[in-house]
Amino acid sequence: MNKPIIGITTFCKKENKFNKSYNKVSYNYISSVIKAGGVPVLIPLLEDKAEVKTYIEMIDGLILSGGDDICPNRYGEHPIAQVTKFDSKRDEWEIELFRGAYRRELPILGICRGMQLMNIALGGSLYQDIIEEYQDGVCHLSCSTDVCELYHSLQIKRNTKLFNILKREEIKVNSYHHQAVKDLGRELIVTAKSEEGIVEGIESENREFVIGVQWHPEDLTLRYSSFLELFKKLVITAEKEKR
């Protein structure tokens, strides 16, 4: 039996030394999919939106990877001073990818920026900067170079898909974000929150696997095998849809 193909979004980075642009993503996404039993396929950032259909028909599941901020114009706001790095082309490309995968009812895992993008694509909004805009804002942007460092705790709601996968009401996670989900998008529910109420997990009410997490489980799988369960469930669901 052919293994399910899991598409992973990438970002474009220009290397000044050779004046070349590269599509990149952390290898930890790739290794997590492989360990979970899937075949990772990197999806390049393209300008031709017609190619979205090509990739959606090719893959059996989608991972929306982390990265820079999403332009606040996407949810009807102007950027505040703390929002300085965003890629509008990536925003547009990935929103179309998400919507294509959502229409086809593919399993989708959104990680950090990817979770925020899911929310925006379904009509939600973000706190542009937690410290600046959230009433009890504390820093969620770890300065640690150890991607496996557990930075803060969060509570997972029982009777959610996320709880059924991780099997715990409280976990500790890494944290590399300064933005957060504000208004929730259509058909989404909150599955996890930090101690001060920041949304750390969302999922679709009526899809088998459309899950977003604000932390980086692909990094934590290097040290904590329990986080691999998210990728295993993604691959299992993709395999079931493939039949």
Give the residue numbers annotated as catalytic, written as ranges: 112, 216, 218
Q: Which residue has 């976990």 as its token pair?
A: 171
Q: Do residues 209 and 234 touch, judged by C-beta distance below 8 A? A: yes
Q: Alpha-carbon distance 34 to 63, whole Å?
A: 13
- Return the number of other C-beta atoms located less than 10 Å from residue 224's C-beta: 16
Burial per residue of 206-222, b for 16 or more beta-carbon CB atoms within 10 angstroms, e otherwise: ebebbbbbbbbbbbbbe
* Nearest alpha-carbon partner for 151 in 114, 179, 116, 176: 176
Tokens of 195: 């101690």
CA distance 219 to 200: 16
